[in-house]
Amino acid sequence: MRTSGIPLNCGNGISILERLIGNHMPIKRIPTTSAQLGMYLCGIDRSWLNTPFLVHRFLIKYSSDIAKLQQAGIQEITIDTDRGRDVASDSEPPQAQDDEVSSKQDSPIPDSSAPPEVERLQQLSPSIQGKSLSGELTTMKLVRKYMLEGVQDILHTLQKTGGLAIEQVHQITESVMAETLGHEEACIAMIRTRDFSPALYDHALAVSTLGVLLGRAVGLDNTALQHLASAGLLHDAGLLNIPQVLHRPLNQLSDSELGLYHKHPRRGVDMLSQQSCLADEVDTLIREHHIALDGSGYPANIDSAKIQTPTRILRIVDEYDELLTGHHTGNPLPVRIALQTLYQQGRKGLIDGELVATFINLIGIYPTYALVELSTGERGIVTANSRDNLLQPTILLIQDAIHQPLPEPIPFNFSVLSSHGPRPEIVRVLAPEQVGIDLDSALENWMTL
> How many Cβ atoms sit within 10 Å of the Cβ of residue 269?
21
pLDDT at residue 69 in the model: 87
Residue 351, CA atoms < 13 Å, CB-side half-sphere: 26
Number of H helices, E strands in the chain: 16, 11
Q: Report the run of H or E that residue 280 belongs to, with start and end.
A: helix 280-288
Q: In what order do the strands lie in the sheet with 389-399?
A: 405-412, 389-399, 379-386, 371-374, 426-430
- Give the number of residues written for the chain: 449
User: 400-411: per-residue pLDDT in tens?
Assistant: 999 999 888 888
User: 44-102: per-residue pLDDT in tens?
Assistant: 877 655 566 655 667 888 788 888 888 888 888 888 887 788 886 544 444 444 443 33
Using a pLDDT cut of 90, give the percent of the chain over it: 37
418 three-state secondary structure: coil
User: 352-407: per-residue pLDDT in tens?
Assistant: 999 999 999 888 888 888 899 999 899 999 887 776 677 778 888 899 999 999 88
Residues 6+ apart with CB under 8 A from 310: 211, 215, 220, 224, 227, 228, 231, 281, 285
pLDDT at residue 12 in the model: 43
pLDDT at residue 96 in the model: 42
Question: In this structure, are residues 373 and 355 in contact, taking their beta carbons and an 8 Å threshold?
Answer: no
**Nearest alpha carbon to residue 312 among 358, 278, 269:** 358
Q: How far is residue 239's CA from residue 247's CA, in Å, rounded to a whole number?
A: 8
**pTM of the full structure:** 0.66
Domain limits, the chain: 35-122, 131-363, 371-448
Q: How far is residue 140's CA from residue 120's CA, in Å, rounded to a whole number?
A: 30
Amino acid identity at 226: Q
* DSSP string across 320-379: HHHHHHTTTTS-PPPHHHHHHHHHHHHHTTSS-HHHHHHHHHHH-SS-TT-EEEETTS-E
Per-residue pLDDT of the chain (449 residues; tens, 9 = 90+): 333 333 333 334 455 555 544 544 567 889 999 998 888 887 787 765 556 665 566 788 878 888 888 888 888 888 888 778 888 654 444 444 444 333 334 444 444 444 443 444 444 444 434 455 666 777 788 888 889 999 999 999 999 998 999 989 998 999 898 888 777 888 888 888 777 777 899 999 999 999 999 999 999 999 999 999 999 999 999 999 888 888 888 999 999 999 999 999 999 999 998 876 889 999 999 999 999 999 899 987 888 889 999 999 999 999 999 999 998 898 999 888 999 999 999 999 999 999 999 999 888 888 888 899 999 899 999 887 776 677 778 888 899 999 999 888 888 777 666 556 677 888 888 988 889 998 878 877 665 54
CB-based burial, 99-128: b 16+ in 10 Å, e otherwise: eebeeeeeebbebeebeeebeebeeeeeee
Q: How far is residue 395's CA from residue 381's CA, in Å, rounded to a whole number?
A: 5
Under the phi-then-psi rule, with left for phi > 0, alpha for psi from -120 to 50, and beta for the rest, what region is 78? beta
For the structural domain made of 131-363, what CATH number should be given?
A: 1.10.3210.10
